[in-house]
Each structure stands twice: as structure tokens, then as C-alpha cells.
Amino acid sequence: MVGAVILRIRRHEAKAMLLDLFYPVPIVFVAIGRFGPESFIS
């Protein structure tokens, strides 16, 4: 995953990089909403 990000930085694909960064955000929020923040904190 990190290697792919580094490759994209070298290619200067900023938009694709931003998509990779922000795409998982809603998935994380859904997971927190479903399982509760306690399971992530502990």
C-alpha cells in the first residue's frame, strides 16, 4: 500500500493519491458506527 503511494507521488498523480487517501474514510466511519468506537480504542 505504501509502495503504491510512493509510486504515485513519483508519477505526480496527485488526484489519484487524494482518492486513495479519502476513499477509505467513509468505510472507517461505517465500521465505527457499526461496532462502536470502544472496539477501536481498546
Return the pLDDT at 20: 78
pLDDT value at residue 25: 85
Q: How confident is the model at residue 22 (pLDDT cuts 50, 70, 90)?
A: confident
The arithmetic mean of pLDDT across residues 10-32, rounded, is 79
Q: What is d(CA 37, CA 21) in angstroms, rounded to the nearest whole number?
A: 21
What is the percent of the chain with per-residue pLDDT over 90, rounded to a whole number? 0
For 8, residues 6+ apart whose C-beta sits below 8 A from its C-beta are: 16, 17, 20
Q: Could you tell me if 23 and 15 are in contact, meaning their C-beta atoms sit under 8 angstroms apart?
A: no
For range 8-23, the mean pLDDT: 75
- Report pTM: 0.37
